[in-house]
Amino acid sequence: MNFFPNFHIYWTIIYLLTYYSSVVYSSGGCFCKLEGRIDDCSCNIDTVDYFNNIKLYPILRSILVTDFFRYIKVNLNRGCPFWPDDGKCAIKDCSVKTCPEEQIPPGLKGQGFGVKSRKNGKSAQGEEACDENNDSLGAVNQTISEENYEEFQRWQKHDDSVDTFCEMDDENSSELQYVDLLLNPERYTGYKGPSAHRIWNSIYKENCFRFGGGYGPYTTSKNIDAMCLEKRAFYRSISGLHSSISIHLCGQYYTKGKDCFTKGEWGINVEEFQRRFDPKYTNGEGPHWLKNLYFIYLLELRAIAKAAPYFENEIYYTGNEENDEQVRVAIKKLLEISKSFPDHFDEKVMFRGNDKEARKLKEEFRQHFMNISKIMDCVGCDKCRLWGKIQVQGLGTAFKILFSKDMPTNYSVNNRKDFRLSRTEVVSLFNAFGRLSNSVYNLEKFRQLLGHNHKTEL
């Protein structure tokens, strides 16, 4: 039985019905009916809407429910490195259900990404399997002193850190636990107040690039052009991530029952969406924040397309060969769709010019984002922390793909040592992009529900 049915015709019909019903519902659109070119890109918003909602969203959604991508190992107990913990969120929806070891697919236990190879007798690095009975033939003494070994480890850590944009959990830590993402969906938990506000304030005021000339600590649509391209890209990425998370919370919002006999339910909260994005409540900035969602979408889409040769050579091993093969087929299809996008984000225009200044700016860019990834350990709600870590790790992985000096043009098992991604990085990237894809898709629902007699042209 085909594990991944052909959704294309079905979702095309659904999308067209949705689109035309929204046109009938209103002659124009709401503030979230954005039009025009995406800032610092050559692509239009309607191009992304069609490409995502018709071509990419259905197959990406089917991939993320598979065992390889639904399970992730994460440490939710690391202390906040920047300020004293405010205490854990006590609301029951803040908690995360972890998985007992016996429920984890056997191929994921204790293994890194791509441990096995498609070809028998070879490892993921393409090395021939050894005959253990002949270990004395032509043997080389590979022993090294403890001092030299520690030095090699320091070199490796330095080399890895140069192109690492994100603080990742130590995969060997006993604090890590398996989490089933399908059992812990991202949605509104009730986590708010000073603790939640401190997270975003710290990200924007202390870790986004600052302005000179009296602009103040926050970036707005009125002063962002005073920044260079790299700094604008950094801000748009963070703002787009923030917008995406907000859309998820508005799309999966818990509404209490009207009385003690009526059960509450999860669903779309239009009023909350308006509060977060309507120009009336955001000093005119809400539509610009929504537009930044499209920017980060293009950035992560470009990372996946650029690393397509890498992903095509992996096997997504869980121990269930039939399902693993179906995942590989679906991934190949997804990568073909990603590469077919007509107007990809162009990372080559960034960090150019004077070599010394470009290196300095890239390192500053990297350090700012590294701090943001550490801030995720300060989130008081476990479920918010889980999805915050995944989405920040996913964005950090996209930066690594786009800006690493060792990212090969044509990946093969032979140059794996030059560039590799951990399983956590891969799972985070695809789930993070899945969240962006979901946000773009759900914006159409809000457009239907908020139809007014005007369009927002930015």
Catalytic residues: 381, 384
Query: Which two structure tokens, joined as six digits, stand for 439?
Result: 């946000």
- Where are the strands (E) in 344-400, listed by range? none
Number of other CB atoms surrounding residue 328 within 10 Å? 18
Q: For residue 64, what are the β-bridge partners?
A: none
Contact yes or no for 307/407 (Cβ under 8 A) = yes
Helix (H) / strand (E) element for 115: namely none
Q: Residues of 110-143 as b/e, b for ≥16 C-beta within 10 angstroms?
A: eeebbeebeeeeeebeeeeeeeeeeeeeeeeeee
155 annotated as ligand-binding: no
Distances, alpha carbon 207 to alpha carbons 189, 196, 199, 373, 426, in Å:
26, 16, 11, 10, 25
Distance in Å from the first CA to the final CA of the chain: 47
Cα torsion angle, 225, 229, 234, 240, sign? positive
95 annotated as ligand-binding: no
200 annotated as ligand-binding: yes
Q: For residue 98, what are the β-bridge partners?
A: 179
Q: Token pair 């590294």 is at which residue?
A: 370
189 annotated as ligand-binding: yes
Number of other CB atoms surrounding residue 256 within 10 Å? 9
Contact yes or no for 289/238 (Cβ under 8 A) = no
Q: Token pair 């991508």 is at which residue?
A: 69
239 annotated as ligand-binding: yes
Name the burial class of residue 370, with classes exposed (0-12), middle (13-18) and buried (19+) by CB atoms within 10 angstroms of its CB: middle
Binding-site sequence positions = 187, 189, 200, 239, 242, 276
| Residues in binding site for FAD | 187, 189, 200, 239, 242, 276
